[in-house]
Amino acid sequence: MKKDLSGCSDTELALLAQKGDRAAFEAIYDRHAEGVARTLASFAGPDRDLLDDLIQEVFFRVVDGLDSYRPRRPFAHWLYTVALNTGRSYARRSSKVIPVDPIDFDNREDDRHRVATLADEILSTTLIRLVKRLPDRLRDVVSLRIASRLTYDEIADLLDIPAGTARSRMHNAIGILRQQLGVTAKKRKEQ
C-alpha cells in the first residue's frame, strides 16, 4: 500500500527522502519535474531528448546531494538552484544551437503530456536560441520568471538578490531580446 504524502510539504518530503524514503523522493519528482523542465528549456531549447537528459541529471544530482539540503530555506529554492547549475554547466560544455523542426516537435508521442508545450511557452525556437545566449544572470531570471512562472520575490529569494534586481534583470533581458529580434517599443505601438 502506497503512503499518502500529498499533505507533506516539500521540506518534509526532502527530510523523509534523506532518510531513504523512496516514496517521498517520487513525490518530490512528481511535484517538481515539470517546473524543472520549464527552467531547463531555455538551456536545452526544444530538443526533448536533451531536455530529458538534463532533467535526469538534475534529479541524479538531487539524489546525490540530498544529504546537503538543510531546511533553512524552502526545498524548491535548493532544487531550482540545482536545476540552474545543471543548465549552466550544460551551456558551458556546449555552445551548439540545436535546430528543430517545429512540426516534428509537436508530433512526438513520448512524454507528450509532461512537457508538451515547453517550446511554445518560451515563445518560439528563435527566442529560445536567443535566450540561450543571454548572460547567466539574465537567463536565470528569464528561465525562472517565464518558464517556471516564479514571482519576482521568489526569484529574488532563490538567487539571493533583491526583488528590484530580479525585475531589472528581466527588463534588461527583454530589452536585449527585443533588440536581437528587431522589435522596438515604437513598432509594438504601431501594431
Domain ranges in the chain are: 10-190
Total-model pTM? 0.62
Share of the chain above pLDDT 90, in %: 24
Segment 72-99, tens digit of pLDDT: 888 988 999 999 999 988 888 876 544 4
The type of residue at 129 is R
The type of residue at 48 is R
**Is residue 84 helix, strand or coil?**
helix
- What topology does CATH give the domain 10-190? Rna Polymerase Sigma Factor; Chain: A (1.10.1740)
The type of residue at 54 is L
Segment 25-36, tens digit of pLDDT: 999 999 999 889
Q: Return the DSSP state at 117.
A: T
Lookup result for grid cell 554547466: 89
Task: Identify which has the larger pLDDT, 181 or 111.
Answer: 181
**Crossing angle of the two packed helices 125-132 and 163-181, in degrees rounded to 10:** 120
